[in-house]
């Protein structure tokens, strides 16, 4: 388990065959055992089996073809809808004489925390059973179309997506990460100096420099690379537009 966690990698290419149903059931059981705020289970998980839906998601999530090909695609949805319906079915408003308030950003954040913890618990279970997975953060793009495609009610918003299966090739070499002292602060937030921030990503930069993938003829920094490839990209613009839409809709009165 410890070795697996220390060497964990994302896998994007899988064999076509599906994972044995007994293992899928076990992954579900372990996922549901994840910590959840107030034991409320503020999420739903949509198992996408339809190839038509997989193909559409593949386009909507920044044209990532690996989604179409993945044997298993789970969309993790931050879900307050179930509890709002339960209040309604239970006549809670009348019984308590407290008007039902519109869900707000605190509710959203709590549900989001729950959902991501469930997703990460799934990835650990998937790895532990000898399979592989990759997150797809781009599921938060094109909200209006994803909402329609997955038939999502107002208070059920995609948090993340996992694709998983049996890796074509098992990757065991862990990717570089910052050192602990760059990321863990004692007691309060620590403003870092130029040198400290550079040190945080120095191993990333060294690797990229060696493989000649840094911008400006390989003289640039990891900051330049992130800025050019991601931060100023169209897909991140879309991600932010889409997130603004679902956050606004979440807080709208029903």
Ligand X SMILES: Cc1cc2nc3c(=O)[nH]c(=O)nc-3n(C[C@H](O)[C@H](O)[C@H](O)COP(=O)(O)O)c2cc1C
Which residues of this protein are in contact with ligand X, per CB under 6 A? Answer: 9-10, 12, 64, 134-138, 160, 175
> 8 vs 249, which CB is nearer to ligand X?
8
Place of tokens 């044995």: 20
Q: Output the CA angle 214-225-14, nearest 5 degrees.
A: 90
> 176 vs 247, which CB is nearer to ligand X?
176
Q: Which of 59, 41, 103 is nearest to 252 (CA)?
A: 103
Q: Which of 30, 220, 236, 56 is nearest to 128 (CA)?
A: 30
> Cβ of residue 64: shortest distance to ligand X, in angstroms?
6
> 48 vs 84, which CB is nearer to ligand X?
48
> 160 vs 225, which CB is nearer to ligand X?
160
Q: Tell me the residue number closest to ligand X, measured at CB.
A: 137
Element (H, E) at 44: strand 43-48
**DSSP bridge pairs for 78:** 43, 157
> Cβ of residue 75: shortest distance to ligand X, in angstroms?
13
CA torsion angle 141 59 139 167 (round to 10): -150
> Cβ of residue 8: shortest distance to ligand X, in angstroms?
7
> Cβ of residue 244: shortest distance to ligand X, in angstroms?
18
> 79 vs 138, which CB is nearer to ligand X?
138
Please check whether residue 69 is in contact with residue 15, taking contact to mean a CB–CB distance below 8 angstroms.
Answer: no
- Using CA atoms, how far residue 141 sits from 31, 63, 84, 138, in Å, is 25, 11, 25, 5
> Cβ of residue 99: shortest distance to ligand X, in angstroms?
36
> Cβ of residue 115: shortest distance to ligand X, in angstroms?
12
> 12 vs 56, which CB is nearer to ligand X?
12
> Cβ of residue 71: shortest distance to ligand X, in angstroms?
16
CB crowding 99-122: b at 16 or more within 10 Å, else e: eeeebeeebbebbbbbbbbbbbbb
Please check whether residue 238 is in contact with residue 232, taking contact to mean a CB–CB distance below 8 angstroms.
Answer: no
> 114 vs 138, which CB is nearer to ligand X?
138
């Amino acid at each position: 388990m410890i070795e697996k966690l220390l060497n964990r990698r994302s896998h994007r290419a899988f064999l076509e065959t599906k994972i044995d149903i007994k293992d899928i059931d076990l992954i579900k059981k372990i996922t549901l055992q994840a910590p959840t705020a107030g034991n409320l289970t503020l999420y739903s998980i949509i198992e996408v089996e339809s190839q038509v839906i997989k193909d559409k998601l593949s386009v909507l999530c920044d044209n990532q073809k690996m989604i179409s090909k993945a044997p298993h695609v789970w969309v993790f949805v931050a879900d307050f809808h179930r509890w709002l319906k339960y209040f309604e079915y239970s006549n809670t408003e009348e019984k308590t004489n407290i008007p039902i308030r519109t869900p707000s950003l605190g509710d959203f954040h709590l549900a989001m925390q729950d959902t991501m913890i469930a997703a990460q618990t799934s990835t650990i279970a998937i790895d532990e059973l000898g399979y592989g997975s990759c997150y797809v953060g781009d599921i938060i793009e094109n909200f209006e179309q994803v909402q329609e495609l997955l038939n999502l009610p107002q208070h059920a918003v995609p948090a993340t997506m996992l694709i998983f299966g049996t890796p074509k090739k098992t990757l065991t070499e862990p990717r570089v990460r910052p050192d602990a002292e760059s990321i863990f602060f004692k007691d309060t937030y620590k403003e870092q100096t130029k040198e400290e921030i550079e040190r945080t990503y120095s191993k990333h930069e060294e690797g990229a420099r060696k493989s000649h993938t840094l911008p400006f003829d390989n003289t640039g920094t990891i900051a330049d690379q992130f800025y050019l490839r991601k931060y100023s990209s169209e897909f991140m613009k879309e991600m932010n537009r889409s997130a603004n839409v679902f956050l606004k809709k979440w807080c709208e009165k029903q």
